[in-house]
Structure 1
Amino acid sequence: MTSEDDRDENPDGGNADYVTFDMAGERYAFPMRQVQEIIRMPAVVKVPLGPPALEGLANLRGRVLPVVSLRECCTMPEAEHDETTRVIVVDGGVPLGFVVDRVASVISIDPADMEPADSVQSTVRSDVLVGVIKSNDGQMTSVLNVDRLVGSQFDELAEAAAGREPASTAARVPEPDAGDGAENDDTLELVSFAVQGQEYALPIDQVQEIVQAPETVSHVPNSGGRVLGVVDLRGRLLPVVSMRRVFGLPVTALEPQNRIVVVSLDGGVVGVVMDTVREVLRVPQKLVAPLPAFMAGDGRKSEVESVCRLEDGKRLVSVLSVHRMFDSPEVRSEIAEHQDREDGPAMTEEQRDDDGRGDEELFVVFRLDGEEYAVDVDAVQEIIRVPEALIRVPRSFEFVEGLVNLRGTVLPVVDLRTRLGLPRSERDERQRIVVLIIGGVRTGFIVDSVAEVARVGRHVLEPAPQLSAEQARIVSRVANLPEQKRMLLLVQVGELLAADQARDLEAVLGQSAGDVLEPV
Structure 2
Amino acid sequence: MELINTKDVARKNGLQCVTFHLGDEIYGIDMRYLQEIIRVPDVVKVPGTPSYIRGLANLRGTILPIVDCRLRLGLKRNEDTEASRVIVLTAGNKKLGYVVDQVVGVISIHEKEIEKGSGSETAADFVEGIAKIEKGKKLIMLLDAKKLLNFRDGETIKEEVEVSKNNIIDIVQESEKKNTDANGEQLEMISFKIGEEEYGIEVGSVQEIVRFSGEVSEVPNTPPYVLGVISLRNKVLPIVSLRRLFNMEECSFDERSRIVVTSISENGFTYAVGLKVDLVLEVLRIDKVAVTPVPPLLKTKDSEEISGICKLNEGSRLVYILDPKKLFSYRLRESADILRAQGGDEEMKVVDTKDEEEQLVTFLVDGIECAFSIEDVREIIRPTEIIAVPKAPDFVEGVINLRGTIVPVIDLRKKFGLKEKNRDDRNRIVIVEISGRHTGLIVDSVKEVVKIGHSQIEDAPEILMDEIDQRFIKGIAKFDETNRMIILLSVEEVLSGKEKKELMAIEEADN
Q: Which residue of 1 aligns with 2:300?
A: none
Query: In structure 2, do the counterparts of structure 1 residues 433 and 479 end up closer, same or farther at CA, with 3 Å as the change threshold?
Result: same
1:474 paired residue among 466, 472, 475: 472
1:508 aligns to 2:499 (yes or no): no
Q: Which residue of 1 aligns with 2:378?
A: 381
Q: Deviations over 1:57-90 (max 9, x none)?
A: 0011100000000100111111111110000001
Separation (CA, whole Å) in 2 of partners of 1:123 and 1:498: 35
The answer on whether the counterparts of 1:435 and 1:445 sit within 8 Å (CA) in structure 2 is yes
User: Which amino acid in the other structure matches residue 403 of structure 2?
Assistant: R
Query: In structure 2, do the counterparts of structure 1 residues 16 and 86 end up closer, same or farther at CA, with 3 Å as the change threshold?
Result: same
1:372 paired residue among 369, 373, 382: 369
Q: Which residue of 2 aligns with 1:397?
A: 393
After the TM superposition, which segments of 4 or more aligned residues of structure 1 sit over 4 Å from their partners?
7-11, 157-164
SS of residue in 2 equivalent to 1:76: coil
Query: In structure 2, do the counterparts of structure 1 residues 162 and 431 end up closer, same or farther at CA, with 3 Å as the change threshold?
Result: farther
Q: CA deviation at 1:484?
A: 2.4
Q: Which residue of 1 aligns with 2:85?
A: 86
2:409 paired residue among 405, 409, 413: 413
Separation (CA, whole Å) in 2 of partners of 1:48 and 1:158: 24
Query: In structure 2, do the counterparts of structure 1 residues 39 and 163 end up closer, same or farther at CA, with 3 Å as the change threshold?
Result: closer
SS of residue in 1 equivalent to 2:387: coil
Q: Deviations over 1:221-242 (max 9, x none)?
A: xxxxxxxxxxxxxxxxxxxxxx
Query: In structure 2, do the counterparts of structure 1 residues 370 and 482 end up closer, same or farther at CA, with 3 Å as the change threshold?
Result: same
Separation (CA, whole Å) in 2 of partners of 1:436 and 1:481: 26
Q: Which residue of 2 aligns with 1:484?
A: 482
Query: In structure 2, do the counterparts of structure 1 residues 121 and 462 end up closer, same or farther at CA, with 3 Å as the change threshold?
Result: closer
Separation (CA, whole Å) in 1 of partners of 2:45 and 2:142: 29
Q: CA deviation at 1:116?
A: 1.3
Q: Which residue of 1 aligns with 2:103?
A: 103
Aligned residues: 308
Query: In structure 2, do the counterparts of structure 1 residues 159 and 412 end up closer, same or farther at CA, with 3 Å as the change threshold?
Result: farther
SS of residue in 1 equivalent to 2:394: coil
User: Which amino acid in the other structure matches residue 88 of structure 2?
Assistant: V
Query: Structure 1 length as normaliser, TM-score?
Result: 0.56
User: Which amino acid in the other structure matches residue 474 of structure 1?
Assistant: F
The answer on whether the counterparts of 1:13 and 1:111 sit within 8 Å (CA) in structure 2 is no
The answer on whether the counterparts of 1:28 and 1:144 sit within 8 Å (CA) in structure 2 is yes
Separation (CA, whole Å) in 1 of partners of 2:382 and 2:444: 11
Q: Which residue of 1 aligns with 2:496?
A: 498
1:451 paired residue among 434, 447, 451: 447
Q: Name stretches of at least 5 consecutive residues in structure 2 with no aligned partner.
A: 1-5, 159-352
The answer on whether the counterparts of 2:119 and 2:127 sit within 8 Å (CA) in structure 1 is no
Q: Which residue of 2 aligns with 1:231?
A: none
- Per mean C-alpha deviation after superposition, the further-off stretch among 450-459 and 398-407 is 450-459
Percent identity at matched positions?
Answer: 38
Separation (CA, whole Å) in 2 of partners of 1:9 and 1:414: 58
Q: CA deviation at 1:448?
A: 0.3
RMSD across aligned C-alpha pairs, in angstroms? 2.5
Separation (CA, whole Å) in 2 of partners of 1:509 and 1:50: 30
User: Which amino acid in the other structure matches residue 23 of structure 2?
Assistant: A
Separation (CA, whole Å) in 1 of partners of 2:509 and 2:123: 51
Separation (CA, whole Å) in 1 of partners of 2:112 and 2:47: 44
Q: CA deviation at 1:9?
A: 9.6
User: Which amino acid in the other structure matches residue 97 of structure 1?
Assistant: G
Q: Which residue of 2 aligns with 1:112?
A: 112
User: Which amino acid in the other structure matches residue 378 of structure 1?
Assistant: E
Q: CA deviation at 1:422?
A: 1.1
- Per mean C-alpha deviation after superposition, the further-off stretch among 491-500 and 102-111 is 491-500
Q: Deviations over 1:20-71 (max 9, x none)?
A: 0000111010001111111110111001111221011001110000000010
Query: In structure 2, do the counterparts of structure 1 residues 86 and 121 end up closer, same or farther at CA, with 3 Å as the change threshold?
Result: closer
Q: CA deviation at 1:14?
A: 3.9
User: Which amino acid in the other structure matches residue 134 of structure 1?
Assistant: K
Query: In structure 2, do the counterparts of structure 1 residues 408 and 10 end up closer, same or farther at CA, with 3 Å as the change threshold?
Result: farther
Query: In structure 2, do the counterparts of structure 1 residues 367 and 122 end up closer, same or farther at CA, with 3 Å as the change threshold?
Result: closer
- Give the alignment of 1:284-433 within 5 angstroms: 359-387=356-384, 389-433=385-429
Q: CA deviation at 1:493?
A: 1.0
- Give the alignment of 1:34-49 within 5 angstroms: 34-49=33-48
The answer on whether the counterparts of 2:69 and 2:100 sit within 8 Å (CA) in structure 1 is yes
The answer on whether the counterparts of 1:55 and 1:67 sit within 8 Å (CA) in structure 2 is yes
